[in-house]
Amino acid sequence: MRLSKLFAAGVAVLLSSSFFSATNAGDTLKVAHYDQPAQMGMPYGTFGANGAYQLYAIFDGLTFVDDDKKVYPRLATEWKLKDKNTWVVKLRKGVTFHNGVPWNADAMLGNVDAINNDPVVSKQQARRQLATIVSGKKIDDHTVELTTKVPDPVLPKRLHIMRPHEPKAWADLGPKGYATDPVGTGSYKIVKWGNDGLKMTAYENAWRKPKTKNVEITIIPEIATRVQALNSGQVHIAWALDTGAMPIVEAGGNKVVVSRRHDTLNLILHHRKEGSPVSDVRVRRALNYAYDKETFVKEVMGGMTKTNGQPADSSATGYFPDIKPYPYDPAKAKKLLAEAGYPNGFDMKIEMVVASGEFGDTFQAMAGDFKKVGVNAELVVLTIPIFVKKILKQQPWEGDAFTMMFESHPIADLTRVMATHSCNFFAKHICFEEMKETIAAMDSEFDPEKRLKLMKKVAQFYHDQAPVVFSHERPAIDGVSPKVKGYKLVNRVPNWDQITVD
C-alpha cells in the first residue's frame, strides 16, 4: 500500500513526545529508523541498512569504499600485496578506542583471531565476507601482515567490512554486554542502547571529531509514522523511505535525499526445495516473464531507478550491460508454465519484510502480475529478527520464496553477491554445484581481464537459471530537515562527523 493511502486512511498516528528527550537545539541530531541491528552493537553482526547506519557511528572500518569503488584509508592507512596470499597493512597512529585503549597491531590481531576462533564472532554475517583472512602477524606496533587462504584481489575493499572491537572489552563484557555497550573507535560512543533506540554522544578523543554533540536514533517501524515524525519536527532525519513518501516529505518543508544503495531487490526462489514448482527452471523463467518490472519502476518508483536481470547492480565490478532484464511477456510465461506441467498455474507462499523502502509495493505488484498467469502468491510478512533467523538457518522457511537483496555493497564487486547467494554461503538458499569452481576462480583471480571473463560467465548463468525473480536497483530515500547541514549517505554510511543541526 502506498504511503499516501496510509495517510488518507488515517493510519499514521500522532507521536508521543516521550519518544524523544528534551535537549538543547543544535546539540542533538534526532533520527528515525525502521529497526535495530539484529544483534545491536555486535560490530560483525551486520552491514545492511538496518545496522550499518548506526554501527558506523560507533566503529570505523579499516578502509572505506565510496560510491565509485575507490578505496580510502580509515583505521588502515596503507596496504600492499607482498605475495599472492599476503598483504602488509599499516595502521593509523594516534587512535584510541572509547575506553582509552590504543588502536594498534595487538588490537588488530585480536580481531583477526576473533573472526577465526571466537565462538560468537566467527559465526557472524560480516565474518563470511572476511572468510579469506586466516591469520595475522605483528611486524611492529602499527604494521601487520594478513595471510589469506586463497588469493584475494579485493581484500582492501573487504576491509571496509572489518569494524574492529576492543578485545579486552569484548572479553570483559561478553557478547550480551557488548551488544548494548559496544566499544569502538568511531566518532560517537554509546550512552544508552535500549529496545526502542539508542543514544550516543561525541567521543572526546575521536580521530574524526563530530560537529554535533549527541545523536538519538529512535526505532519507528512504519514508514508513514517516520514521515510524520519528520514533518512534525520530532526528528531531523527519517531513514529508509519509499517513493510514496517523497511528496509528503517535501510538502512538510523537508528535503528528500536520494543515494545509491548498491543492491538489487529480488524474490529469492527456493530452487533446491524438492517438490516445489520453482525447482523447475522453466517455472523460474516463467515468473520472470510474468512480472512487469518496467511498469513498476516507471509508475511506482517514478522512473528514478532501473530494472535488473543479473546478480550485480550497475555500480559494481561484474555488471554487464549486455545481459538484459527479462522482458514482460505473460504469453511466454504461460507457455513455460504449461511445459513445466502447470497449465493452470499453482499456489505459492512468499515470506517477506515490508518496513524498508519499497519492499511492500514491489512484492504486492509482483504477486498481482503472477496472478494474471495463474500463480496465486500468498504474501506472509516477517519481522526482521525472524527473517534474520531464517537466513541463518536458525528457523525453517515455510514457503517457496522469500524477499531479499543481491548486494554488492559495500565492496562494489560481484564476489560480494556470491558470498551470500551461492554455495559459498552455509545456508545455500542459492547453490549451483556446477558453478562452484568458476566462482572460486573469479574470487581469487588478480588479472582484471581474466576475472571479468569469469564474472561474465557467472552473471550469464544466474540470468539464465533465474534463481530469483529479478526486479530493480534500489535507491536509498531519506527525509531530511532543512535544519540539518552536511548530510550525505555514501555507500550506505552516513558521514557522521560532518553533520550539523541548527
If we measure between CA atoms, which residue out of 321, 266, 281 comes closest to residue 434? 281
Q: What is the pLDDT of residue 3?
A: 43
Show the cell assigned to 138.
Answer: 605483528
pTM of the prediction? 0.88
| Residue ranges in the chain whose pLDDT is less than 70 | 1-25, 47-50, 355-356
Q: Let me know the angle formed at the C-alpha of 189 by 187 and 192, rounded to the nearest 5 degrees.
A: 145
If we measure between CA atoms, which residue out of 105, 89, 74 comes closest to residue 185? 74
Return the amino acid letter for 358: E
Spatial separation of the C-alpha atoms in residues 222 and 244, rounded to whole Å: 13
The per-residue pLDDT for range 256-271, each reduced to its tens digit, is 999 998 999 999 999 9
Spatial separation of the C-alpha atoms in residues 15 and 296, rounded to whole Å: 32
Task: Let me know: does 350 contact 267? Beta carbons within 8 Å.
Answer: yes
- Can you name the residues that pair with 413 across neighbouring β-strands? 317
Q: What is the pLDDT of residue 46?
A: 73
Show the cell assigned to 405.
Answer: 537483496
Burial class of residue 133 (count of CB atoms within 10 Å of its CB; 0-12, 13-18, 19+):
buried
What structural domains does the chain harbor?
A: 3-9+25-59+172-259+477-501 (3.40.190.10), 63-168 (3.90.76.10), 262-474 (3.10.105.10)
Spatial separation of the C-alpha atoms in residues 194 and 289, rounded to whole Å: 45
Spatial separation of the C-alpha atoms in residues 469 and 15, rounded to whole Å: 38
Residue 315: enclosing H or E segment and its boundaries? none
Q: What is the pLDDT of residue 49?
A: 58
Spatial separation of the C-alpha atoms in residues 362 and 353, rounded to whole Å: 11
Q: Is the dihedral of CA 501, 227, 51, 308 positive or negative?
A: negative
